Amino acid sequence: MEVAYRGVPDDGLIVGTTVHGRPSVFADNWPNRARFWFPSVDHPSDKASVAFTIHAPSSWQVVANGVREHATEAGSAEAPPGRGPDGDLRTWRWRTRIPIPTYTMVVGATEFAVRSVGLAACGQAPESPRSDGCVDVTTWLYPSDSVRAGRSFRRAAEMVDVFTGMIGPFPYEKLAHVQSATRFGGMENVSAIFYSESALASGGDIEGTVAHEMAHQWFGDAVTEADWHHLWLSEGFATYFGALFFERADGPRAFRARMEESRLRYQTSDVTDRPVVDPDEDDLFQLLNANNYQKGAWVLHMLRGILGDEAFFGGIREYYRRHVHGTVLTEDFRRVMEEVSKQELGWFFDQWIFRPGHPVISTEWSWNAAREEARVVLRQTQPEAWPVFRVPAEVGVLLPDGTERRQAVVLDGRSTEVRIPAPSRPEAVVFDPDRWVLHRAPRRSTPEP
């Protein structure tokens, strides 16, 4: 079937000018705005290959999904008839044969300064057309912004290598980072990530956004939620793996700072009374919330804490291997993690994904000098509408000589008691000293009067 049409779309394809007043055209499809400019089954459960043929002024550069198959020279016999605002037209052809979601099918066209950041994922990029099997990582920035905006992408090739090592082979042919007119801070379009033009023009550091959007190439793009209400499989994963890049590259302190920021954003949001998978929400833009991003990231962090790094990352790699270029629901992820870890995890996903809230934990303790032990009582005091959580955790006793004694505990009721050896009166008792649990509580408790 061939469908012919023309005109200026109401949405999805932004025909306008850049922040610098230069003519531009950018696609911006999320969540279901691709339908405004090309016929499609505009839902994440359906993927397709795509090819674009674009006629643009000769002074412009054009980027799209996949690989560039062809670009005519201005004035050549192959050039299309007619003239653009700056002279002759050129024809660009881009194609990906890999099935991708419609919301990630894009073109971007304006005056760009195109630069290579470096090669990455060499030997781990099966779709790369390069003879060396590497991914070419590039930036497509407005010429007047290219120097200051380029600083945010200085580690972009390194990010590809880190994620390839953690998750699996890079799924696409190339990776372009594009300054654009997207309404979002970043948009994870397959192999052509779009970033806010104003954020890059201001010269601000958006490296955290870059890491987040790059993680989407694996989660959200290659492995896509089959239903919008399971958006955490995209946004929660990108938030967590974006933070994991900084753990690998900059150390645990940088990672903890990002996770603490996620915790605060979730706990101060207006969605704590709703589950992560929220089928009652009809407005898809309302799904761009702290449940799907920040709480979703914490769900993965807690799962890692319960399973340990070997089983957790082994499960992540198997989940990606099994579902790359396909679509998934939360149950698919749970099933893989259970198979790899050999643990039953229904309770975990039920309380953290399908039910609202988080534990609110109060801690009381007393010290028995004769027994040389601290008696600690942990109480879950969250609202009745939230579940009583099952929480594997640790409790730490801080002693006057600077040492710490720890005890593993599983909270599985409103009140849980644990006794910890303590040869001297503790300075404090700390629940979850390594911050593996999403909860609200004072970091240090005081003794019973």
Q: Which of 305, 333, 352 is the last residue of a domain?
A: 352
pLDDT tens digits, one per residue of 208-251: 999 999 999 999 999 999 999 999 999 999 999 999 999 999 99
Q: What is the pLDDT of residue 1?
A: 83
Same domain, 371 and 396: yes
Query: Are residues 293 and 176 part of one domain?
Result: no
Residue 72 pLDDT class (50, 70, 90 cuts): confident
Helix (H) or strand (E) holding 306: helix 296-307
Residues 191 and 177 sit within 8 Å (Cβ to Cβ): no
Q: What is the pLDDT of residues 118-152, one digit of tens each?
A: 999 999 999 999 999 999 999 999 999 999 999 99
Please give the structure tokens belonging to residue 167. 């998750």
Q: Are residues 48 and 74 in the same domain?
A: yes
Alpha helices, DSSP H only, in 131-206? 146-150, 156-166, 197-201
Domains contained in the chain, number = 3
Residue 423 in this model has a pLDDT that exceeds 90: yes
Which of 308, 333, 352 delimits the end of a domain? 352
Task: Domain of residue 375: give its range.
Answer: 361-431
Residues 270 and 236 in one domain: yes
* Domain contains 178: yes
Q: What is the pLDDT of residue 82?
A: 57
pLDDT for position 83 = 57
CATH of the domain at 160: 3.30.2010.30
Q: Is there a domain that residue 8 lies in? A: no
**Residue of 270, 267, 302, 263 lying closest to 288 (CA atoms):** 270
Q: Looking at the domain assignment, is residue 443 inside a domain? A: no
Would you give the DSSP letter of residue 431?
A: E
Six token digits for residue 299 = 């769900």
Residue 449 lies inside a defined structural domain of this protein: no
Residue 443 in this model has a pLDDT that exceeds 60: no
Residue 380 inside a domain? The answer is yes
Q: Are residues 367 and 389 in the same domain?
A: yes
What's the burial of 267, exposed, middle or buried (CB within 10 Å: 0-12/13-18/19+)? middle
Residues 280 and 410 in one domain: no
Whether residue 190 is found in the same domain as residue 233 = no
N residues, the chain: 449
pLDDT of residue 5 exceeding 80, the answer is yes
Picking from 176, 195, 218, the residue at the C-terminal end of a domain is: 218
Supply the pLDDT for residue 74.
Answer: 61
Q: Does some domain include residue 396?
A: yes
Inside any domain, residue 2: no
| Distance, CA of 206 to CA of 155 (rounded, Å) | 12
Whether residue 263 sits in one domain with residue 177: no
384 lies in the same domain as 348 = no
The confidence score (pLDDT) of residue 79 equals 57
List the 186-187 sheet strands across, edge first.
113-120, 135-141, 175-180, 192-196, 186-187
Q: pLDDT digits over 354-390, tens only? A: 999 999 999 999 999 999 999 999 999 999 999 999 9
Tell me: do 183 and 123 sit in the same domain.
yes
Same domain, yes or no: 253 and 345: yes
Task: Tell whether 321 and 368 lie within a shared domain.
Answer: no
Q: What's the rounded Cα separation, in Å, for the pair 219 and 242? A: 11
Asked if the structure places residue 439 within a domain, the reply is: no
Rounded Cα distance, 112 and 93, in Å: 17
Note the pTM of the prediction, 2 decimals: 0.95
